[in-house]
Structure 1
């Protein structure tokens, strides 16, 4: 770290700079405070660019008439190789960006030269306490006044909030925001509001209790904390809002067996300086299964809700619950966007969200009044939202506990997840990265809270009943896809859409140049006409482009920047083959108009299908079934449901003979803990590990019969054979499935 800092300072000296300050664009931002974040001009000063989180830029030097002149001006390769979800920040000619495993970088925004690099040195063993990889969505920057230091704030995966000197990358202070050695993690970007750094956390799948905290920018002193769900009902609650929420919870399972109830605010935070309100989006229940979490019913406030707080104290102002009685991991942590809309002849200050559950919500952000709620994707768990009550009307598919299991749209991955959407006040459209993915939900009879283990109350294995299993594979092979959707929040309908072959695609940027930028699972980064979705320009990268793009201006030139790197829940859990033509390079790609000849050929990562058939396999069906259950609870979130993984992590169906030999040492003993594969010695027995090994062995032995089939042959097989079987159990679902395929 010291060497990198000295190198940074030497570089600055050679350039004739005293503080890494480079020539400024015409609209110079001198101090990064509330005023400049509200009006960032040519810079990108907060996660969503400004406090409104619209991700719309007024820059138009790159527009639909000349976007085909864009070329890769420079790229920077990071040390990490995992999911890349960060939105970069730009100030004074410097790009600040974070990567997986809680690294932070400062780069010259013109050339990509590294100015400094900070590594939070998160223990790799903490990976087991996360949902979806060691990702990080971004940084925050702040400067009180011209006499105060510019600081960069990083939320580390292990729960620390770290303040860095923006000039040198040296740590100013660090505070542990979560209990040590707990199931909490931080993946979201901090926000700075009124001299306080606000940060949430994740871990609901692993049983924690959600909260949001605010810390003094200069000292790290905690100013306030707002818990999103009640605690032990036998003790005083932390606020009147929690006392009121307690009435919506039944029993005591959520804090005794479940561990904490969930409701983590792991992503969305937005501040309105005019109203002086801070809005947070809260997450799913823990466990997901509401019959186990709150037996006897109840809405379980403030799960899956938009909550308005007073930023000085963290005091509750109002809430709207997006998914009452959450039963499906339908978080409301997705991006919140502020805007002014003309509704029925009146200008309304609104807050908008497209959460996991598939409905697009428009609320009055002063009062929390629901103004509209309509489907933006395929939804089968609810028919509509009743505008008189503000509540969704659940369908017969929603109660999978009573049904004995149900296929439901959307899956827990959500119709929209963390990938940011964008609102263009110029077109009046919201551009949403939509995921069309169903999942089979089947409730479990009990759940037990354990450190380092998911506690969903849901059977995450693929269904073992042959009819249901075939139907599930038909959906997987034929019906899962992604979309770029332009949604009109006033007309409450789609204006246009672009279909992507894979579901997990990138965040979106809109500009005054009538452009919309988005990356894809397949590594394409493209510009679309904001008015009709026509593709105008594209660049092919060598890894998925999932993060939110940005744009900035320097020396009269407009740049477009985006991070690349494959990962996230859907890519980890939902893969079905190793992609031989991709390497999971973490890079920052920066484009501007010109011809730079920097495009690199796509590299082959050299992976091949390795069949290990020499060792003796355990073919006991009871052992294999038990191993599948254990694998689902402990391994599937990283290595893929039923071991059908993607190329981000090793595909366990392709284990080498040596891996088979070392299996117990790896899984039980933690032989690969230094790589993030922690040992399960505290929660699994040798017999458990042997059962998991037997299950993976079976998956590996079955691989050749599927490898021989092409992707199209798989689709033809499952469609021809599988769809006929759906009607035996779900005749209504069959009709909707056929409709999706036409």
Structure 2
């Protein structure tokens, strides 16, 4: 701990040693100028008015309804008494930060066809504010520069390279000098990842950097680093699918080094042997790369998961700080990606300083400190030769939920998920599916493996049960916690269990030794940073996943957080979520000392038995229904969980009018304004009818099951095979 205090004292000296570069700000002050708070994105505040002695008096100062029902992942920004934030699909809002008065609201015109390529909800992770403008990216890949005073559009720029692909955008823009940098998403679909830099004043393209090479048959690569990367790919790779690598989050400008650090995404398709048959590191997948913001040229890279085989993205939030490492105070980046390790790298050159596991990791036995490469364990984790249970799961040991770094204690505090998944190849050749899922692997999380195996052929189940990791999966399927970790050792100093593996949230720390975070149960928690002791909890009735932030206006300290369930797996609302009992009306909640109670959303009405299904159309057979089931899980199930209380429609409960308009909804875009895209470029009328036949059959079975439950007094939303079949 003393080393971390000394590191803070050497702040000015470190800047001089770096050649006079601008020093990092250690913690946010009265304003919170970026989603990460300060230039290091530490999610830490220097404010101390709210502390352990008075936090019991924390209550609601004001709240704002956002009029949406999807996931909220943004951390607000406060500049000069105005709070700016973003929401569903790239909406933006401005409020008087003291009173909550709405100053303006902006809603982009979004092409909802993009919903077909968004794996993990219509979320947005924040805005950037600079030169009197608010920058926000819409879900379909347009950057908007809004007048910070009025919300009027000053310019808009299309940053999608190829709109025939599955590109989309959910991340926060990052201002780096005179450019605004933005990534994109869609690696599970058919994209070739890239980051784009736009001129702050005009929105014109300044440069674009691609994560992975293109097909060499198309000619030379766009940059020397891509020519070098090409040597790490099979010349006969699945270039048609794109390669993946989409940098959908984790873009940080470093004022000390003058570099932009970018975390890149997973490979597509998942399995290296399918993506690049002869193997290779497949640069620059699952890497941290440092780019010159003036030119887009790469300065250094560090690949955290060479030849990514497991959807182990490196897009998780980074933190910049200074640490005493081996007797030298260094400018470092702290990074905990999906793969289960917490890395410390020197920000100047990408040199690996530490890599410690924070969860169970059987894909690798460790990280070689000399080479920086993982020591792979193919016998445990190579699922291309047969099903494997891999730790951690594709959900990641860490994901997008921001962690915080407290310089006083030297603790890295964030949501950590220790869980695995069964992963196996799906049979048959897989031609390119344009703007469709091309991941070519199936996943079942360890809490569900034992039950799910009952639905597989006996020989498959026997093979899984013989895996060494199977007993480990049964013994401890999943542990979800907020953890305070010593980043130099990876050891947990304290931890607090969350409600379940889907309950993960972002974290705020303050100089008054407070750690603040929310839960999808709807509660906001305040703990003592040094010990983890619970000081305060507030029930809001609305799920919280986003990271809280804090600011000061007029001598009053406030804590604000966005509230709303969503993100990865968003159709599957856990029963412990406040969204399951009270719905998912999105809100911005702001607290202060002496504030009042949070108004609770009304409880949802009791679940009713599924309505009677219409008769099947003439000619529908068991084969028709089976075809429809395959088409449903190949195209529709990622959004439609067919689960009670889902935030997307439960298609087992369609009303007569929906059945009558089924073709128009699926093929003609009747409900596009509601976010339901049209599918006539992929699905034929016969395909749509087969899906409809499957859903009619499923609705009839669901109704019969629920009538039996009602008669026996069992809850209608109890576990059932119709839910399990979504695997």
TM-score scaled by structure 2? Answer: 0.86
Equivalent residue, structure 2, for 1:54: 42
Q: CA deviation at 1:379?
A: 2.8
Q: What are the superposed Cα offsets for residues 475-523 of structure 1, whole Å, 9 maximum, x if unpaired?
A: 7998345210111112221111111122232111111111111111211
Q: Counterparts of 1:286 and 1:507 in 2: how far apart (Å)? A: 28
Kept in 2, the 8 Å contact 1:429–1:488? The answer is yes
1:483 aligned counterpart, secondary structure: strand
Q: CA deviation at 1:542?
A: 2.4
Equivalent residue, structure 1, for 2:92: 104
Q: CA deviation at 1:401?
A: 1.3
Equivalent residue, structure 1, for 2:232: 248
Q: Counterparts of 1:478 and 1:665 in 2: how far apart (Å)? A: 47
Equivalent residue, structure 2, for 1:496: 494
Q: Cα gap change, 1:293/1:645 in structure 2, threshold over 3 Å: closer, same or farther?
A: farther
Q: CA deviation at 1:685?
A: 2.5
1:449 aligned counterpart, secondary structure: coil
RMSD over aligned CA atoms reads 2.9
Equivalent residue, structure 2, for 1:562: 561
Matches within 5 A, 1:295-310: 295-310=277-292
Q: CA deviation at 1:276?
A: 1.4
2:691 aligned counterpart, secondary structure: helix
Equivalent residue, structure 2, for 1:25: none
Q: Counterparts of 1:350 and 1:629 in 2: how far apart (Å)? A: 48
Q: Counterparts of 1:454 and 1:699 in 2: how far apart (Å)? A: 24
1:569 aligned counterpart, secondary structure: coil
Q: Cα gap change, 1:343/1:388 in structure 2, threshold over 3 Å: closer, same or farther?
A: same
Q: What are the superposed Cα offsets for residues 160-179 of structure 1, whole Å, 9 maximum, x if unpaired?
A: 11111101111111110003
Q: CA deviation at 1:543?
A: 2.2
Q: Cα gap change, 1:275/1:99 in structure 2, threshold over 3 Å: closer, same or farther?
A: same
Q: Counterparts of 1:695 and 1:617 in 2: how far apart (Å)? A: 9
Q: Counterparts of 2:525 and 2:334 in 1: how far apart (Å)? A: 25
Equivalent residue, structure 2, for 1:536: 535
Tell me whether 440-449 or 306-315 shows the greater mean CA deviation: 440-449
Q: CA deviation at 1:686?
A: 3.5
Matches within 5 A, 1:674-693: 674-693=673-692
Matches within 5 A, 1:558-707: 558-573=557-572, 575=574, 580-597=580-597, 599-606=598-605, 608-616=607-615, 622-640=623-641, 643-644=642-643, 647-697=646-696, 699-700=698-699, 701=701, 704=706
Kept in 2, the 8 Å contact 1:577–1:644? The answer is no
Equivalent residue, structure 2, for 1:391: 373
Kept in 2, the 8 Å contact 1:576–1:644? The answer is no
Equivalent residue, structure 2, for 1:164: 146
Q: Counterparts of 1:612 and 1:453 in 2: how far apart (Å)? A: 32
Q: Counterparts of 1:576 and 1:685 in 2: how far apart (Å)? A: 36
Q: Counterparts of 1:647 and 1:607 in 2: how far apart (Å)? A: 14
Q: What are the superposed Cα offsets for residues 85-126 of structure 1, whole Å, 9 maximum, x if unpaired?
A: 111100111000111022111100011101011111213332
Q: CA deviation at 1:695?
A: 4.4
Matches within 5 A, 1:246-325: 246-256=230-240, 258=241, 260-325=242-307
The match for 1:341 among 323, 330, 339 is 323
Equivalent residue, structure 2, for 1:21: none
Equivalent residue, structure 1, for 2:3: none
Q: Counterparts of 1:442 and 1:570 in 2: how far apart (Å)? A: 19
Kept in 2, the 8 Å contact 1:413–1:570? The answer is no
Q: CA deviation at 1:134?
A: 1.4
Q: Counterparts of 1:645 and 1:155 in 2: how far apart (Å)? A: 32
Matches within 5 A, 1:363-442: 363-395=345-377, 396-403=379-386, 405-442=387-424
Kept in 1, the 8 Å contact 2:624–2:690? The answer is yes
Q: What are the superposed Cα offsets for residues 441-489 of structure 1, whole Å, 9 maximum, x if unpaired?
A: 1213432323331111113586641666798999799834521011111
Q: Counterparts of 1:474 and 1:650 in 2: how far apart (Å)? A: 36
1:101 aligned counterpart, secondary structure: helix
Q: What are the superposed Cα offsets for residues 597-645 of structure 1, whole Å, 9 maximum, x if unpaired?
A: 4x213312336244234434699665555444333331232223xx457
Q: Cα gap change, 1:706/1:377 in structure 2, threshold over 3 Å: closer, same or farther?
A: farther
Equivalent residue, structure 1, for 2:116: 128
Equivalent residue, structure 2, for 1:457: 440
Q: Counterparts of 1:478 and 1:610 in 2: how far apart (Å)? A: 35
Kept in 1, the 8 Å contact 2:23–2:255? The answer is no
Q: What are the superposed Cα offsets for residues 5-26 of structure 1, whole Å, 9 maximum, x if unpaired?
A: xxxxxxxxxxxxxxxxxxxxxx
Q: Counterparts of 2:666 and 2:562 in 1: how far apart (Å)? A: 32
Q: Cα gap change, 1:569/1:171 in structure 2, threshold over 3 Å: closer, same or farther?
A: same
1:205 aligns with 2:203: no
Q: CA deviation at 1:689?
A: 3.0
Kept in 2, the 8 Å contact 1:90–1:96? The answer is yes
Q: Cα gap change, 1:644/1:625 in structure 2, threshold over 3 Å: closer, same or farther?
A: farther
Kept in 2, the 8 Å contact 1:283–1:305? The answer is yes
1:502 aligned counterpart, secondary structure: coil
Equivalent residue, structure 2, for 1:518: 517
Structure 1 residue runs of 5 or longer lacking an equivalent are 1-33, 144-149, 718-742
Equivalent residue, structure 1, for 2:221: 237
Kept in 2, the 8 Å contact 1:132–1:572? The answer is no
Equivalent residue, structure 2, for 1:30: none
Q: Counterparts of 2:110 and 2:311 in 1: how far apart (Å)? A: 27
Q: CA deviation at 1:710?
A: 7.1
**Number of residue pairs aligned between Structure 1 and Structure 2:** 671
Q: Cα gap change, 1:355/1:698 in structure 2, threshold over 3 Å: closer, same or farther?
A: farther
Q: CA deviation at 1:649?
A: 1.5
2:267 aligned counterpart, secondary structure: coil
Q: Counterparts of 1:534 and 1:653 in 2: how far apart (Å)? A: 45
Tell me whether 174-183 or 232-241 shows the greater mean CA deviation: 174-183
Structure 2 residue runs of 5 or longer lacking an equivalent are 1-21, 445-451, 722-727
Q: Counterparts of 1:456 and 1:706 in 2: how far apart (Å)? A: 38
Kept in 1, the 8 Å contact 2:644–2:717? The answer is no
1:68 aligned counterpart, secondary structure: helix
Q: CA deviation at 1:304?
A: 0.5
Q: CA deviation at 1:332?
A: 0.3
2:442 aligned counterpart, secondary structure: coil
Q: What are the superposed Cα offsets for residues 137-167 of structure 1, whole Å, 9 maximum, x if unpaired?
A: 1100112xxxxxx111111111111111101
Q: What are the superposed Cα offsets for residues 265-312 of structure 1, whole Å, 9 maximum, x if unpaired?
A: 110011221211110000011111222211111111000000011221
Kept in 1, the 8 Å contact 2:520–2:576? The answer is no
Q: Cα gap change, 1:128/1:198 in structure 2, threshold over 3 Å: closer, same or farther?
A: same
Q: Cα gap change, 1:94/1:409 in structure 2, threshold over 3 Å: closer, same or farther?
A: same
Q: Counterparts of 2:698 and 2:606 in 1: how far apart (Å)? A: 19
Kept in 1, the 8 Å contact 2:334–2:343? The answer is yes
Equivalent residue, structure 2, for 1:221: 204
TM-score scaled by structure 1? Answer: 0.85
Q: CA deviation at 1:438?
A: 3.0
Q: Cα gap change, 1:501/1:620 in structure 2, threshold over 3 Å: closer, same or farther?
A: farther
Q: Cα gap change, 1:113/1:586 in structure 2, threshold over 3 Å: closer, same or farther?
A: same
Q: CA deviation at 1:48?
A: 0.7
